[in-house]
Structure 1
Amino acid sequence: MLTRASNVAQDDALGAAGSALLAADDVSISFRGKPVLETVSIAVHEGEIVTLIGPNGAGKTTLARVLLGLAAPTSGRVLRRSGLTVGYVPQRFPVERIMPLSVQRFMHLNTGVSKERALECLAETGAAALADVQMTDLSGGEFQRVLLARALARDPDLLVLDEPARAVDFAGAAQLYALIAAIRARRRCGVLLISHDLHVVLGASDRVVCLNRHICCEGVPQHVAAHPEYMRLFGPEAAASLGIYGHRHDHTHSLSGDVCGEGT
C-alpha cells in the first residue's frame, strides 16, 4: 500500500527532527480516555533503518498510523518532508479466499503501475515467479514479499513495515530482513520496521527504539551471539542480558504498561 501522510507539517517545521523524512514530535493519543501513546518523539532519516520494538499492546501500530496520517494524535504533531512518498506494508492484509486475485492483478490495484514496473518490483523482492499465482495460495513468506514489492512500486522515499515477518519462520524472517537491508542499500530509502520480536534488531537496523506507550529507550544495536530462542525474548532483563542496547532502562512497567518503578 502506498500512502502520503496527511494533516502534517511540511519541511519548514522539521527543525526539531533535523533532516528527517518523517517525524513525530511529542505525539500523544488516547482512545476512550485511555492513553495509548504518551509524548512520543521519533524520526526516520534518509537511508536509515529504524526498528521500533515493544510488547503487544505497546502502541507500535498506532504510532505507525499516526505517522502515516491515518490517525490523528490527541496532542503533538507529525512532521514530514515535502512531497514525501511512503510505501506501507500493514500488519494484516486479509484477502478473501472466494475472490480470484492473482499476484499480478494485486500489484495493479489502486497503484496505477504498469505491468512492466510491477514485474520489476516482484523481481526485486524475489517474487517474480509468483506473478500468476493466486494471492490466497501464497505462503506467509511469499505473501510478505509480494506486499513489499507492491510498496516499492512507486519508488517510495520511506518504507514503513509493520511486523513484516509475521507468519514467517525464523529462517524466512532472516532472509526477509536481509532483503530489506539490500533494498535500503540500493534505493537509499528510509525504513521504519515495527516488531515485538527482540531478535529483529540484530543486524537489521541502524537504530532501535523501544516503545511501551512512551519511548522507554533507544540506541544503536550491537552484534551479539546468542541462540535464536533467546533473541526472540523481549523485556528489560532480556535486553540487558543480550547487550543489545548501549544503555539501560531507567524504569519498569506493569503488565498494563504503566510505569511502576525504577529499573536496575
Structure 2
Amino acid sequence: MTPLIEAKGLEFGPKAAPVLRDVSLRVDPGEIVTLVGPNGSGKSTLLRLMIGALAPRRGTVRRARGLRIGYVPQSLVLDPSLPITVRRFLDLPHRVGDAEAEAALAQSGADGIAHKQMAALSGGQFQRVLLARAVLNQPQLLILDEPTQGLDQPGQAAFYRRIAALRREMGCAVLMVSHELHVVMSASDRVICLNGHVCCEGTPEVVSAAPAYRELFGTGTGGQLALYRHEHDHAHEGGGAAHHHHHHHHAEG
C-alpha cells in the first residue's frame, strides 16, 4: 500500500538541541494515527513539517501526488470585535459555493449555525467550524492538532466520534495530535508516542502496555482506555506488533 504521506529521518531545530531527531512516520489511506507525547515533545512541529509549513533540517517528507490535506489548527484566535459569520469564515481564503458550505457544516456536526457570528460560538461549535473548513476540499488526509483542547469530556468524546464518522463517510485518513489519552486511544488504529523522537508505536493496546509509554504517562488512565471504544473495521490492521525504539533511555543532555 502506498502511503498518503511518509516522513523519513526528520530532524528539526538547532543542531545542538533538536526539537525532533530521526523521526519517521507514515500514514496509509484510511487509517487513524494519533500522536501522543508530553508538552514540548515536538508534536505540533511534526504536524507542521508534514503539511509543509516548516522545512526539516534533515530528512524528507513525501506526499502522494495531488494529496488533498485538511488541517485543523490547535487554536485560532479571531479578533472578537471583527464581525464575521460562520458562512463568511468558510469563504476564507477562497470563496466556496453555498451547497459545499452547507455540506461541510453538516458533515462536521455544525449545521444550522451558518448565520451565527464566529465570536458568539461555543468552544465546541468553533472547533466544528474549523473542522468544516478543513473538510471543504474533500481531503484524503485530515490533520488535527489537539482539536479538543478546552472542551469538556463529553464534548471531546462527541468530537472524536464525529472524526470517526467522517473517516467512514469520506474514507479519509486522519493524523491527529492529542493529550486526551483515554479518549484517543480507542479511536485510533495506531498510536505513536513522541518525545523528541518516536519512543514506541503500535495499536492502542500495545502502546498503552509499552514501558516507554508508561514512563511518559504513568498508568493513571489505564482503566479509562475502553471509555469510547469504537467498532473498528479490522480490515487494515497490521498484526498489532509493537515497534519499540529503544534509544529512549539515553539521558537527555
Class of the TM-score when normalised by the shorter of the 2 chains? 0.7 to 0.9
Which of 5, 9, 28 is residue 26 of structure 1 equivalent to? 9
Paired position in structure 1 for 2:128: 145
Q: Does 1:74 align with 2:89?
A: no
5+ residue gaps, structure 1, are 1-17, 224-232, 254-258
Residues 139-171 of structure 1 show CA distances to partners (whole Å, capped at 9, x for unaligned) of: 111111110011000111100000011111100
Q: Which residue of 2 aligns with 1:12?
A: none
Matched, 1:61 2:44: yes
Q: What amino acid is aligned across from residue 238 of structure 1 in structure 2?
A: T
The aligned counterpart of 1:188 is: 171
Q: Does 1:41 align with 2:24?
A: yes
Q: Deviations over 1:203-229 (max 9, x none)?
A: 211000000000000010139xxxxxx
TM-score under structure 2 length normalisation = 0.83
Match of 2:218 in 1: 237
SS of the aligned residue for 1:57 comes to coil
Is the contact made by 2:148 and 2:156 (CA closer than 8 Å) also made in structure 1?
Answer: yes
The answer to whether the Cα contact below 8 Å between 1:141 and 1:168 also exists between their aligned partners in 2 is yes
Would you say the 8 A contact 1:113–1:154 is kept in 2?
A: no
List aligned pairs for 1:171-250, cutoff 5 A. 171-222=154-205, 235-238=216-219, 250=246
Q: Does 1:260 align with 2:243?
A: no
The 8 Å contact of residues 55 and 234 in structure 1, kept in 2 or not, is answered as no
**Residue identity in the other structure for 1:116:** A
Q: Which moved more, 1:175-184 or 1:235-244?
A: 235-244
Q: Which residue of 1 aligns with 2:70?
A: 87
CA-CA distance at 1:196 after TM superposition: 2.3
The AA in structure 2 aligned to 1:162 is: D
Task: Report percent identity of matched pairs.
Answer: 45
CA RMSD of superposed structures (Å): 2.5
Distance 1:109 1:31 in 2: 34
Shift of 1:62: 0.2
Change (3 A) 1:116 1:214: same
- Give the whole-Å Cα distance in 2 for the aligned partners of 1:111 and 1:213: 36
How many pairs does the alignment contain? Answer: 230
1:31 Cα shift? 3.9
Give the SS at the match of 2:20. strand
Larger strand proportion of the pair: 1
Q: 1:28 to 1:122 in 2, by over 3 A?
A: same
Task: Name the amino acid aligned to 2:55.
Answer: A
Runs of 4+ in structure 1 over 3 Å off: 239-253
Give the SS at the match of 1:72.
coil
Q: Separation in 1 of the partners of 2:84 and 2:221?
A: 46
Question: Secondary structure of 1:108's match?
Answer: coil
The answer to whether the Cα contact below 8 Å between 1:207 and 1:219 also exists between their aligned partners in 2 is yes
1:58-109 alpha-carbon deviations (Å, 9 max, x no partner): 0000000101111010100001100001000011211001100110000111
Secondary structure at 1:180 match in 2 = helix
TM-score, with length taken from structure 1: 0.80
